[in-house]
Amino acid sequence: MAMKYVSTRGAAPVLGFGEAMMTGLARDGGLYVPETTPALTRAEIAGMAGAPYEEVAFKVMRPYLGGFFGDDEFRGLIARAYQGFHHAARAPLVQLGANHFLLELFHGPTLAFKDFAMQLIGQMMQAALARTGERITIVGATSGDTGSAAMEAFRGLANVDVFILFPHGRVSEVQRRQMTTPVEANCHALAIDGDFDEAQARVKDMFNDFAFRDGVRLAGVNSINWARVLAQVVYYFYAGTALGAPHREVSFTVPTGNFGDIFAGYIARRMGLPIDKLVIATNQNDILDRALRSGDYLTHGVKPSISPSMDIQVSSNFERALFDAYGRDGAAVAQLMGEMKTGGFRISQGAIESLRSSFASGRCDEDETLAVIARHWKTTGELLCPHSAVGVKVAEEHVGAAPMITLATAHPAKFPDAVQRATGIRPGLPPHMADLFDKPERETRVPNDLAALQAIVRERIAR
Protein backbone atom coordinates (compact mmCIF):
# COMPACT_ATOMS: atom_id res chain seq x y z
CA MET A 1 0.00 0.00 0.00
CA ALA A 2 1.37 3.36 -1.02
CA MET A 3 2.21 5.64 1.87
CA LYS A 4 -0.04 8.70 2.09
CA TYR A 5 0.74 12.09 3.58
CA VAL A 6 -1.78 14.24 5.46
CA SER A 7 -1.62 17.86 6.61
CA THR A 8 -1.31 18.77 10.29
CA ARG A 9 -4.24 21.16 9.77
CA GLY A 10 -6.46 18.50 8.27
CA ALA A 11 -7.79 20.49 5.33
CA ALA A 12 -5.33 19.93 2.44
CA PRO A 13 -5.27 17.22 -0.22
CA VAL A 14 -3.81 13.85 0.84
CA LEU A 15 -0.64 13.28 -1.21
CA GLY A 16 1.87 10.60 -2.09
CA PHE A 17 5.59 10.90 -1.26
CA GLY A 18 6.69 12.59 -4.49
CA GLU A 19 3.92 15.18 -4.37
CA ALA A 20 4.49 15.89 -0.69
CA MET A 21 8.20 16.43 -1.37
CA MET A 22 7.59 18.80 -4.28
CA THR A 23 4.76 20.63 -2.52
CA GLY A 24 6.47 21.63 0.73
CA LEU A 25 3.91 23.55 2.75
CA ALA A 26 0.39 22.11 2.60
CA ARG A 27 -2.24 24.35 1.01
CA ASP A 28 -4.06 24.77 4.34
CA GLY A 29 -0.85 26.19 5.84
CA GLY A 30 -0.05 22.92 7.60
CA LEU A 31 2.87 20.50 7.32
CA TYR A 32 2.71 17.07 5.72
CA VAL A 33 3.20 13.99 7.90
CA PRO A 34 2.87 10.32 6.98
CA GLU A 35 -0.58 8.92 7.65
CA THR A 36 0.98 6.01 9.56
CA THR A 37 4.50 5.39 10.84
CA PRO A 38 6.00 2.19 9.45
CA ALA A 39 7.57 0.06 12.16
CA LEU A 40 10.82 -1.82 11.64
CA THR A 41 11.23 -5.22 13.29
CA ARG A 42 13.84 -5.83 15.96
CA ALA A 43 15.72 -8.04 13.52
CA GLU A 44 15.69 -5.34 10.85
CA ILE A 45 17.05 -2.80 13.31
CA ALA A 46 19.68 -5.22 14.63
CA GLY A 47 20.80 -5.78 11.04
CA MET A 48 21.79 -2.12 10.73
CA ALA A 49 24.59 -2.35 13.28
CA GLY A 50 27.89 -1.79 11.54
CA ALA A 51 26.30 -1.43 8.09
CA PRO A 52 27.44 1.42 5.80
CA TYR A 53 25.52 4.68 6.26
CA GLU A 54 24.04 4.37 2.77
CA GLU A 55 22.61 0.93 3.56
CA VAL A 56 20.95 2.18 6.75
CA ALA A 57 19.56 5.12 4.80
CA PHE A 58 17.98 2.81 2.24
CA LYS A 59 16.34 0.61 4.88
CA VAL A 60 15.01 3.44 7.01
CA MET A 61 13.59 5.59 4.21
CA ARG A 62 12.31 3.02 1.72
CA PRO A 63 8.98 2.33 3.53
CA TYR A 64 8.06 6.02 3.17
CA LEU A 65 8.48 6.26 -0.59
CA GLY A 66 5.36 4.36 -1.63
CA GLY A 67 7.27 3.14 -4.68
CA PHE A 68 7.95 6.69 -5.94
CA PHE A 69 11.54 5.64 -6.64
CA GLY A 70 12.46 2.09 -7.63
CA ASP A 71 14.93 0.33 -5.31
CA ASP A 72 17.92 0.56 -7.64
CA GLU A 73 17.16 4.17 -8.50
CA PHE A 74 16.87 5.07 -4.82
CA ARG A 75 20.13 3.35 -3.94
CA GLY A 76 21.80 5.38 -6.70
CA LEU A 77 20.39 8.65 -5.36
CA ILE A 78 21.61 7.84 -1.86
CA ALA A 79 25.08 6.94 -3.11
CA ARG A 80 25.39 10.22 -5.00
CA ALA A 81 24.03 12.24 -2.08
CA TYR A 82 26.73 11.14 0.34
CA GLN A 83 29.74 10.65 -1.94
CA GLY A 84 30.81 14.27 -1.36
CA PHE A 85 31.11 13.86 2.41
CA HIS A 86 34.59 14.19 3.84
CA HIS A 87 34.43 11.26 6.27
CA ALA A 88 34.08 7.61 5.25
CA ALA A 89 31.70 6.96 8.15
CA ARG A 90 29.55 9.97 7.10
CA ALA A 91 28.42 10.42 10.72
CA PRO A 92 31.25 9.30 13.05
CA LEU A 93 30.71 8.86 16.79
CA VAL A 94 33.34 10.04 19.25
CA GLN A 95 33.29 9.50 23.01
CA LEU A 96 33.16 12.58 25.22
CA GLY A 97 32.84 11.03 28.65
CA ALA A 98 31.43 8.13 30.64
CA ASN A 99 28.34 7.06 28.67
CA HIS A 100 28.36 10.26 26.62
CA PHE A 101 29.01 10.32 22.86
CA LEU A 102 29.09 12.97 20.17
CA LEU A 103 27.61 12.26 16.74
CA GLU A 104 29.58 14.41 14.31
CA LEU A 105 27.13 15.51 11.62
CA PHE A 106 29.37 18.18 10.13
CA HIS A 107 31.47 16.33 7.55
CA GLY A 108 29.25 17.23 4.60
CA PRO A 109 30.14 19.82 1.94
CA THR A 110 28.86 22.85 3.91
CA LEU A 111 29.93 21.66 7.38
CA ALA A 112 26.53 21.36 9.08
CA PHE A 113 24.02 18.54 9.57
CA LYS A 114 21.73 20.18 7.02
CA ASP A 115 23.82 18.52 4.28
CA PHE A 116 22.48 15.07 5.22
CA ALA A 117 18.97 15.97 4.11
CA MET A 118 19.74 18.62 1.52
CA GLN A 119 22.17 16.57 -0.54
CA LEU A 120 19.61 13.78 -0.76
CA ILE A 121 16.69 16.11 -1.52
CA GLY A 122 18.79 17.66 -4.28
CA GLN A 123 19.17 14.22 -5.84
CA MET A 124 15.53 13.25 -5.31
CA MET A 125 14.08 16.48 -6.70
CA GLN A 126 16.38 16.36 -9.69
CA ALA A 127 15.26 12.80 -10.46
CA ALA A 128 11.59 13.77 -10.09
CA LEU A 129 12.00 16.83 -12.34
CA ALA A 130 13.84 14.82 -14.97
CA ARG A 131 10.72 12.67 -15.39
CA THR A 132 8.44 15.60 -16.16
CA GLY A 133 10.79 18.22 -17.57
CA GLU A 134 9.29 20.75 -15.15
CA ARG A 135 11.01 23.89 -13.83
CA ILE A 136 10.69 24.83 -10.18
CA THR A 137 11.54 27.81 -8.00
CA ILE A 138 12.89 26.95 -4.58
CA VAL A 139 12.48 29.61 -1.93
CA GLY A 140 13.86 28.97 1.54
CA ALA A 141 14.50 30.83 4.77
CA THR A 142 17.65 30.16 6.72
CA SER A 143 19.20 30.93 10.06
CA GLY A 144 22.46 30.21 8.21
CA ASP A 145 23.01 26.55 7.49
CA THR A 146 19.96 25.49 5.49
CA GLY A 147 20.72 28.18 2.92
CA SER A 148 24.30 27.16 2.29
CA ALA A 149 23.35 23.48 2.17
CA ALA A 150 20.53 24.20 -0.31
CA MET A 151 22.75 26.23 -2.63
CA GLU A 152 25.40 23.54 -2.56
CA ALA A 153 22.78 20.90 -3.41
CA PHE A 154 21.04 22.83 -6.22
CA ARG A 155 23.66 25.12 -7.75
CA GLY A 156 23.97 24.83 -11.50
CA LEU A 157 20.88 22.63 -12.01
CA ALA A 158 19.17 23.52 -15.27
CA ASN A 159 15.55 23.35 -14.11
CA VAL A 160 15.81 24.94 -10.64
CA ASP A 161 16.25 28.46 -9.30
CA VAL A 162 17.09 28.69 -5.62
CA PHE A 163 16.34 31.79 -3.55
CA ILE A 164 17.56 31.91 0.04
CA LEU A 165 16.38 34.52 2.53
CA PHE A 166 18.79 35.02 5.41
CA PRO A 167 18.61 37.57 8.24
CA HIS A 168 20.95 40.42 7.35
CA GLY A 169 23.84 40.74 9.83
CA ARG A 170 22.75 37.74 11.89
CA VAL A 171 24.62 34.86 10.28
CA SER A 172 28.29 34.06 10.72
CA GLU A 173 30.70 35.24 8.04
CA VAL A 174 31.40 31.67 6.93
CA GLN A 175 27.67 30.98 6.65
CA ARG A 176 27.13 34.17 4.66
CA ARG A 177 30.01 33.54 2.29
CA GLN A 178 28.80 30.00 1.62
CA MET A 179 25.56 31.57 0.35
CA THR A 180 26.98 34.59 -1.47
CA THR A 181 29.95 33.04 -3.29
CA PRO A 182 28.39 30.36 -5.54
CA VAL A 183 28.93 31.68 -9.08
CA GLU A 184 26.03 29.80 -10.67
CA ALA A 185 23.31 32.09 -12.04
CA ASN A 186 20.51 30.01 -10.49
CA CYS A 187 21.67 30.84 -6.92
CA HIS A 188 20.13 33.95 -5.34
CA ALA A 189 21.21 35.05 -1.85
CA LEU A 190 18.73 37.55 -0.37
CA ALA A 191 19.70 39.39 2.84
CA ILE A 192 16.41 40.39 4.48
CA ASP A 193 15.96 43.25 6.93
CA GLY A 194 14.56 41.08 9.70
CA ASP A 195 15.24 38.01 11.83
CA PHE A 196 14.84 34.34 10.93
CA ASP A 197 11.24 34.17 12.12
CA GLU A 198 10.34 37.00 9.75
CA ALA A 199 12.21 35.38 6.87
CA GLN A 200 10.37 32.11 7.50
CA ALA A 201 7.03 33.94 7.73
CA ARG A 202 7.58 35.58 4.32
CA VAL A 203 8.39 32.18 2.79
CA LYS A 204 5.16 30.79 4.23
CA ASP A 205 3.30 33.85 2.88
CA MET A 206 4.61 33.05 -0.60
CA PHE A 207 3.30 29.50 -0.29
CA ASN A 208 -0.07 30.75 0.95
CA ASP A 209 -0.43 33.07 -2.07
CA PHE A 210 -1.68 30.39 -4.46
CA ALA A 211 -1.52 32.54 -7.60
CA PHE A 212 2.15 33.26 -6.95
CA ARG A 213 2.88 29.75 -5.76
CA ASP A 214 1.43 28.10 -8.84
CA GLY A 215 2.73 30.80 -11.19
CA VAL A 216 6.40 30.30 -10.29
CA ARG A 217 6.01 26.59 -9.38
CA LEU A 218 7.22 27.15 -5.86
CA ALA A 219 8.96 24.33 -3.99
CA GLY A 220 10.32 24.36 -0.45
CA VAL A 221 13.44 22.94 1.15
CA ASN A 222 12.94 24.18 4.68
CA SER A 223 12.19 21.48 7.22
CA ILE A 224 8.52 22.09 6.49
CA ASN A 225 9.40 19.61 3.73
CA TRP A 226 8.80 16.09 5.05
CA ALA A 227 11.64 14.66 2.96
CA ARG A 228 14.08 16.77 5.00
CA VAL A 229 12.90 15.27 8.26
CA LEU A 230 12.88 11.77 6.80
CA ALA A 231 16.53 11.94 5.72
CA GLN A 232 17.46 12.92 9.27
CA VAL A 233 15.76 9.87 10.82
CA VAL A 234 18.56 7.76 9.33
CA TYR A 235 21.40 8.88 11.58
CA TYR A 236 19.44 8.09 14.73
CA PHE A 237 19.33 4.45 13.62
CA TYR A 238 22.93 4.54 12.45
CA ALA A 239 24.25 5.87 15.77
CA GLY A 240 21.79 4.00 17.97
CA THR A 241 22.62 0.61 16.52
CA ALA A 242 26.35 1.39 16.69
CA LEU A 243 25.94 1.74 20.47
CA GLY A 244 23.91 -1.41 21.05
CA ALA A 245 20.31 -0.77 20.02
CA PRO A 246 17.96 -2.57 19.74
CA HIS A 247 19.50 -4.76 22.45
CA ARG A 248 19.73 -1.78 24.77
CA GLU A 249 18.23 1.69 24.93
CA VAL A 250 20.05 4.83 23.84
CA SER A 251 19.31 8.51 24.52
CA PHE A 252 19.77 11.57 22.32
CA THR A 253 20.20 15.28 23.00
CA VAL A 254 19.54 17.59 20.07
CA PRO A 255 20.44 21.29 19.76
CA THR A 256 17.10 22.60 18.57
CA GLY A 257 15.67 25.60 16.73
CA ASN A 258 13.00 24.75 14.21
CA PHE A 259 12.36 21.31 15.78
CA GLY A 260 13.09 19.40 12.56
CA ASP A 261 16.13 17.46 13.75
CA ILE A 262 14.62 16.37 17.05
CA PHE A 263 11.33 15.51 15.38
CA ALA A 264 13.32 13.07 13.23
CA GLY A 265 14.43 11.41 16.48
CA TYR A 266 10.81 11.16 17.57
CA ILE A 267 10.01 9.39 14.29
CA ALA A 268 12.95 7.02 14.80
CA ARG A 269 11.50 6.05 18.17
CA ARG A 270 8.05 5.50 16.67
CA MET A 271 9.63 3.26 14.04
CA GLY A 272 11.01 1.05 16.79
CA LEU A 273 14.40 2.41 17.82
CA PRO A 274 14.49 2.06 21.62
CA ILE A 275 15.17 5.65 22.64
CA ASP A 276 15.07 6.32 26.37
CA LYS A 277 15.41 10.10 26.58
CA LEU A 278 15.00 12.51 23.70
CA VAL A 279 16.25 15.84 24.98
CA ILE A 280 15.55 19.26 23.45
CA ALA A 281 18.50 21.62 23.99
CA THR A 282 17.90 25.34 23.40
CA ASN A 283 20.08 28.42 23.66
CA GLN A 284 18.79 31.62 25.32
CA ASN A 285 15.97 31.59 22.76
CA ASP A 286 14.33 28.98 24.91
CA ILE A 287 10.67 28.95 23.87
CA LEU A 288 10.61 25.17 23.52
CA ASP A 289 12.11 24.56 26.96
CA ARG A 290 9.70 27.07 28.51
CA ALA A 291 6.71 25.61 26.68
CA LEU A 292 7.48 22.10 27.86
CA ARG A 293 7.85 23.24 31.48
CA SER A 294 4.92 25.68 31.67
CA GLY A 295 2.49 24.51 29.00
CA ASP A 296 2.46 28.01 27.49
CA TYR A 297 3.98 28.46 24.04
CA LEU A 298 4.75 32.19 24.09
CA THR A 299 7.10 34.03 21.73
CA HIS A 300 9.29 36.71 23.31
CA GLY A 301 11.16 37.90 20.23
CA VAL A 302 14.55 36.62 19.13
CA LYS A 303 17.72 37.60 21.03
CA PRO A 304 20.78 37.14 18.77
CA SER A 305 23.20 34.59 20.24
CA ILE A 306 26.55 32.95 19.51
CA SER A 307 24.61 29.91 18.25
CA PRO A 308 22.70 31.79 15.53
CA SER A 309 21.30 28.74 13.76
CA MET A 310 19.04 28.26 16.79
CA ASP A 311 17.87 31.88 17.09
CA ILE A 312 14.26 30.99 16.43
CA GLN A 313 11.04 31.55 18.36
CA VAL A 314 8.49 30.30 15.86
CA SER A 315 9.49 26.68 15.66
CA SER A 316 7.83 25.30 12.55
CA ASN A 317 8.11 21.59 13.13
CA PHE A 318 6.75 21.80 16.64
CA GLU A 319 3.42 21.79 14.78
CA ARG A 320 4.09 18.20 13.77
CA ALA A 321 4.61 17.18 17.41
CA LEU A 322 1.47 19.08 18.44
CA PHE A 323 -0.55 17.25 15.78
CA ASP A 324 0.26 13.92 17.44
CA ALA A 325 -0.11 15.32 20.96
CA TYR A 326 -3.63 16.49 20.05
CA GLY A 327 -4.58 13.03 18.80
CA ARG A 328 -4.09 14.06 15.15
CA ASP A 329 -6.90 16.61 15.36
CA GLY A 330 -6.11 18.97 12.46
CA ALA A 331 -8.81 21.47 13.43
CA ALA A 332 -7.35 21.81 16.93
CA VAL A 333 -3.86 22.43 15.47
CA ALA A 334 -5.24 24.99 13.01
CA GLN A 335 -6.85 26.84 15.92
CA LEU A 336 -3.56 26.93 17.90
CA MET A 337 -1.64 28.19 14.89
CA GLY A 338 -4.24 30.91 14.45
CA GLU A 339 -3.53 32.00 18.04
CA MET A 340 0.17 32.35 17.14
CA LYS A 341 -0.72 35.64 15.46
CA THR A 342 -1.34 37.07 18.92
CA GLY A 343 1.92 35.78 20.37
CA GLY A 344 1.24 32.24 21.46
CA PHE A 345 -1.14 29.68 22.94
CA ARG A 346 -1.75 27.42 25.92
CA ILE A 347 -1.17 23.71 25.30
CA SER A 348 -4.01 21.51 26.62
CA GLN A 349 -3.38 19.31 29.67
CA GLY A 350 -3.63 16.09 27.68
CA ALA A 351 -1.30 17.37 24.97
CA ILE A 352 1.36 18.69 27.34
CA GLU A 353 1.41 15.36 29.19
CA SER A 354 1.86 13.59 25.88
CA LEU A 355 4.72 15.94 24.88
CA ARG A 356 6.43 15.51 28.26
CA SER A 357 6.29 11.74 27.85
CA SER A 358 8.12 12.10 24.52
CA PHE A 359 10.63 14.88 25.21
CA ALA A 360 12.83 16.21 28.00
CA SER A 361 14.40 19.67 27.69
CA GLY A 362 17.01 22.09 28.93
CA ARG A 363 18.57 25.45 28.03
CA CYS A 364 22.09 26.82 27.90
CA ASP A 365 22.92 30.52 28.06
CA GLU A 366 25.77 32.38 26.37
CA ASP A 367 28.33 32.12 29.20
CA GLU A 368 27.59 28.45 29.72
CA THR A 369 28.06 27.82 25.99
CA LEU A 370 31.53 29.39 26.04
CA ALA A 371 32.43 27.54 29.25
CA VAL A 372 31.48 24.17 27.76
CA ILE A 373 33.54 24.82 24.61
CA ALA A 374 36.55 25.74 26.79
CA ARG A 375 36.17 22.79 29.15
CA HIS A 376 35.84 20.20 26.38
CA TRP A 377 38.79 21.60 24.47
CA LYS A 378 40.88 21.14 27.61
CA THR A 379 39.57 17.79 28.81
CA THR A 380 38.63 15.85 25.65
CA GLY A 381 40.42 17.77 22.90
CA GLU A 382 37.09 18.07 21.04
CA LEU A 383 36.52 21.51 19.55
CA LEU A 384 32.74 22.07 19.75
CA CYS A 385 30.77 24.56 17.68
CA PRO A 386 28.50 26.72 19.86
CA HIS A 387 25.35 24.79 18.85
CA SER A 388 26.90 21.45 19.67
CA ALA A 389 28.10 22.96 22.97
CA VAL A 390 24.52 23.87 23.88
CA GLY A 391 23.64 20.23 23.27
CA VAL A 392 26.57 18.90 25.28
CA LYS A 393 25.77 21.07 28.31
CA VAL A 394 22.12 20.00 28.37
CA ALA A 395 23.04 16.36 27.70
CA GLU A 396 25.39 16.31 30.67
CA GLU A 397 22.37 17.12 32.85
CA HIS A 398 20.47 14.14 31.44
CA VAL A 399 23.04 11.31 31.18
CA GLY A 400 21.58 8.17 32.76
CA ALA A 401 21.95 4.41 32.35
CA ALA A 402 21.51 4.49 28.57
CA PRO A 403 24.37 5.84 26.44
CA MET A 404 23.71 9.52 25.66
CA ILE A 405 24.38 10.66 22.09
CA THR A 406 24.61 14.42 21.53
CA LEU A 407 24.18 15.59 17.97
CA ALA A 408 27.09 17.83 16.89
CA THR A 409 25.28 19.94 14.33
CA ALA A 410 28.05 22.06 12.83
CA HIS A 411 31.82 22.19 12.36
CA PRO A 412 33.60 24.59 14.74
CA ALA A 413 35.17 26.41 11.77
CA LYS A 414 31.73 27.65 10.79
CA PHE A 415 31.67 29.74 13.98
CA PRO A 416 35.33 30.64 14.53
CA ASP A 417 34.69 33.82 16.54
CA ALA A 418 32.80 32.06 19.34
CA VAL A 419 35.26 29.16 19.40
CA GLN A 420 38.22 31.54 19.57
CA ARG A 421 36.60 33.53 22.37
CA ALA A 422 36.20 30.32 24.38
CA THR A 423 39.51 28.60 23.66
CA GLY A 424 41.95 31.02 22.05
CA ILE A 425 42.05 28.61 19.10
CA ARG A 426 40.79 29.81 15.73
CA PRO A 427 39.58 26.69 13.91
CA GLY A 428 40.60 26.66 10.25
CA LEU A 429 38.35 25.73 7.35
CA PRO A 430 38.94 22.26 5.89
CA PRO A 431 40.98 22.19 2.66
CA HIS A 432 37.97 21.92 0.34
CA MET A 433 36.79 25.34 1.55
CA ALA A 434 40.11 27.04 2.12
CA ASP A 435 39.51 29.70 -0.58
CA LEU A 436 36.12 30.83 0.79
CA PHE A 437 37.42 34.20 1.92
CA ASP A 438 39.05 34.97 -1.44
CA LYS A 439 35.91 34.63 -3.52
CA PRO A 440 33.75 37.61 -4.55
CA GLU A 441 30.35 37.84 -2.86
CA ARG A 442 27.01 38.39 -4.58
CA GLU A 443 23.92 39.22 -2.52
CA THR A 444 20.77 41.35 -2.75
CA ARG A 445 19.53 43.37 0.24
CA VAL A 446 15.75 42.97 0.43
CA PRO A 447 13.03 44.51 2.62
CA ASN A 448 10.81 42.42 4.89
CA ASP A 449 7.95 42.83 2.46
CA LEU A 450 6.05 40.11 0.62
CA ALA A 451 5.22 42.04 -2.55
CA ALA A 452 8.80 43.26 -2.97
CA LEU A 453 10.15 39.73 -2.50
CA GLN A 454 7.69 38.27 -4.97
CA ALA A 455 8.69 40.90 -7.53
CA ILE A 456 12.37 39.96 -7.15
CA VAL A 457 11.64 36.26 -7.60
CA ARG A 458 9.46 36.86 -10.67
CA GLU A 459 12.00 39.17 -12.24
CA ARG A 460 14.97 36.84 -11.66
CA ILE A 461 13.33 33.70 -13.00
CA ALA A 462 12.16 35.54 -16.13
CA ARG A 463 15.76 36.20 -17.16
Contacts (CB under 6 A) with ligand PLP, residues 204-223 = 223
Contacts (CB under 6 A) with ligand PLP, residues 333-392 = 387
Q: Which stretch binds ligand PLP (CB under 6 A): 25-33, 55-63, 241-249, 255-263?
A: 255-263
145 sits near ligand PLP (criterion: CB under 6 A): yes
Contacts (CB under 6 A) with ligand PLP, residues 103-142 = 112, 114
Q: Which of 4, 59, 114, 378 is catalytic?
A: 114
Shortest distance, position 257 Cβ to ligand PLP, whole Å = 4
**Of residues 114 and 176, the one with the C-beta less far from ligand PLP:** 114
Helix (H/G/I), strand (E/B), else coil: 445: strand
Q: How far, in Å, are 163, 258, 344, 379, 429 from residue 309 at the CA level?
A: 18, 9, 22, 26, 18
β-pairing, 296-298 with 344-346?
antiparallel
Letters for 290-319 (x = contact with ligand PLP by CB under 6 A, - = none) are: -------------------xx---------
Q: How far, in Å, are 175, 207, 305, 436 from residue 417 at the CA level?
A: 12, 36, 12, 16
CA–CA dist 68, 202 (Å, integer):
31
CA–CA dist 434, 414 (Å, integer):
12
Asked if residues 121 and 143 have their Cβ atoms less than 8 Å apart, the reply is: no
CA–CA dist 411, 430 (Å, integer):
10
Query: Is 114 a known active-site residue?
Result: yes
Q: Which stretch binds ligand PLP (CB under 6 A): 27-35, 79-87, 257-265, 325-333?
A: 257-265
CA–CA dist 315, 259 (Å, integer):
6
**Of residues 119 and 223, the one with the C-beta less far from ligand PLP:** 223
Shortest distance, position 247 Cβ to ligand PLP, whole Å = 29
Q: Which stretch binds ligand PLP (CB under 6 A): 180-188, 258-266, 322-330, 366-374?
A: 258-266
CA contacts within 13 A on the Cβ side of 330: 17
Shortest distance, position 131 Cβ to ligand PLP, whole Å = 29
Shortest distance, position 317 Cβ to ligand PLP, whole Å = 7
Shortest distance, position 148 Cβ to ligand PLP, whole Å = 9
Shortest distance, position 260 Cβ to ligand PLP, whole Å = 3
Asked if residues 319 and 334 have their Cβ atoms less than 8 Å apart, the reply is: no
**Of residues 142 and 454, the one with the C-beta less far from ligand PLP:** 142
Q: Is 301 exposed, middle or buried (0-12, 13-18, 19+ CB in 10 A)?
A: exposed
| HEC secondary structure over 252-274 | EEEECCCCHHHHHHHHHHHCCCC
Q: In the set 108, 194, 255, 344, which binds ligand PLP (CB under 6 A)?
A: 255
Report the residue count for the chain. Answer: 463
Contacts (CB under 6 A) with ligand PLP, residues 402-441 = 409-410
In the complex, the residues that contact ligand PLP under the rule CB under 6 A are 112, 114, 145, 223, 255-261, 309-310, 387, 409-410
Enzyme catalytic residues: 114
